[in-house]
Structure 1
């Protein structure tokens, strides 16, 4: 079953002559348990697609189905909880004056979910953080630890889909691999479906089964991991991205 089924998704801002199309009629499917990558330069529309999937952006047209259910611009809390986002900047996405425990408690309160202390403890354990971290503040954590908190917050509602918006680009290179491996383990253990946005083909290749290459709001090519490994790609832009990180991509795909 397709966990995500998108047909002719278009996102535009403005009206009349000032209308600007950011995403131009993209179509794709993501199977249950699959990790699907969106790669391309900044401004190509990758994060805009995530925003539409997450329900953060309502200015879209087309057809969207999540877990077989047709989704519109207006969504119920249950529909919103089904997919959760992890953002690029773990410091900017976490309230600086809230403890980690308070940060993890907030989505449970919003959605009226019980068993709150148990869920907080499980979320921290799932991302490899000590339970005592619930009493700390974001400035007391490293960048990698903050991103683990952001992942824990996304997991605490027990979603079926994680939408990952450049989840390692703000981290030191030495920490990036830890977070990528954590995400890989979580996907396998919790049977999650991922949509991962990145400008880095090597990061996408490390986690994703299929990769859509975006340019100017459209998909120029969709390839699977083996096609990227073998170089069996058709579009010059995809080839340019692959050539620019060939050694690192090959290493990540081993």
Structure 2
């Protein structure tokens, strides 16, 4: 088991102003699996990722990563084992650093060698030309920036990628390219993903299992096949599927077989 979470709770604020955002959720993610978190904005999806990544310190419960207990303060090796890709490719990359400098920084922090070789290799893996290392973020498209963000996450050779709405800021056709890239990378590198999204088509395309969140709890955990067939039990999950029907149907069929099945079944 790559990820095991028991009774995870996350709160913000102090005393009477404390707000409990995530309320004692438990789940497991097998090695090589993609586990999705779906739900409306503010339900706690990204907060779960923050706790897994070590960004959020004020959590309770138990998090075990690849058999090792993770505390709120992580070691460098624990941080390197799982990396995060953020929603906004325009805000997650330093605007005054070249792409090469952006990719070099994690290598320097973790004291890794063969830095030039690693940078060239990771650019190839995400489908960017070698000379992009000399460009600045403003010279790249949104999809190219997100490829850089993925490259930065992968350059440390993590076992886990935490994906926080990785395509929501991109055009639909570019979304398809990034999703297919993530799928290829997962299969080739045997990666484990935890994917946050509000888009049921994205979830259906990439995830093996899905947890539906509402008000900080899991109301249902189901397999992708059940989601595609509409075989869900909780009213909120049914509402999300119903809400996605018209939206998904209006989108170009470029996200692959799973999304096409979702369109047909819904």
* TM-score bracket, shorter-length normalisation: over 0.9
Q: Deviations over 1:159-214 (max 9, x none)?
A: 00000000000001111000000000000000000000011111111100000000
Question: Secondary structure, in 3 states, of the residue corresponding to 1:159?
Answer: coil
Whole-angstrom CA distance in 1 between matches of 2:58 and 2:16: 17
Give matches, 1:89-108, under 5 Å: 89-108=88-107
Q: Is the 8 A contact 1:229 1:253 kept in 2?
A: no
1:169: which partner in 2? Answer: 168
2:52: which partner in 1? Answer: 53
Structure 2 residue 38 is matched with structure 1 residue 43:
no
Whole-angstrom CA distance in 1 between matches of 2:30 and 2:260: 21
Deviates more, 1:223-232 or 1:76-85: 223-232
1:207: which partner in 2? Answer: 206
TM normalised by structure 2 equals 0.93
1:15 deviates by 2.1
1:81: which partner in 2? Answer: 80
Whole-angstrom CA distance in 2 between matches of 1:109 and 1:41: 38
TM normalised by structure 1 equals 0.97
Alignment CA distance shift 1:251-1:36 (3 Å): closer
Whole-angstrom CA distance in 2 between matches of 1:61 and 1:46: 16
Whole-angstrom CA distance in 1 between matches of 2:229 and 2:143: 33
Deviates more, 1:37-46 or 1:15-24: 15-24
1:94 deviates by 0.2
Q: Deviations over 1:10-38 (max 9, x none)?
A: 00012222111000001000000000000
Whole-angstrom CA distance in 2 between matches of 1:146 and 1:14: 34
Which of the residues 253, 259, 262 maps onto 1:252? 259
1:231 deviates by 1.4
Alignment CA distance shift 1:242-1:229 (3 Å): same
Q: Deviations over 1:65-124 (max 9, x none)?
A: 000111111111000010000000011000000000000000000111111011101110
CA RMSD of aligned residues (A): 1.2
1:131: which partner in 2? Answer: 130
Question: Secondary structure, in 3 states, of the residue corresponding to 2:2?
Answer: strand
1:72: which partner in 2? Answer: 71
Structure 2 residue 213 is matched with structure 1 residue 230:
no
Whole-angstrom CA distance in 2 between matches of 1:40 and 1:200: 9
Whole-angstrom CA distance in 2 between matches of 1:236 and 1:115: 53
Misfit runs of 4+, over 3 Å: 246-251
Structure 2 residue 118 is matched with structure 1 residue 111:
no
Question: Secondary structure, in 3 states, of the residue corresponding to 1:211?
Answer: strand
1:251 deviates by 5.5
Question: Secondary structure, in 3 states, of the residue corresponding to 1:219?
Answer: strand
Q: Deviations over 1:133-174 (max 9, x none)?
A: 000000000000000000000000000000000000000111
Whole-angstrom CA distance in 2 between matches of 1:125 and 1:222: 36
Structure 2: give runs of 5+ residues left out of the alignment: 250-256, 262-266
Corresponding residue pairs, total:
253
Q: Is the 8 A contact 2:204 2:228 kept in 1?
A: no
Whole-angstrom CA distance in 2 between matches of 1:39 and 1:236: 14
2:5: which partner in 1? Answer: 6
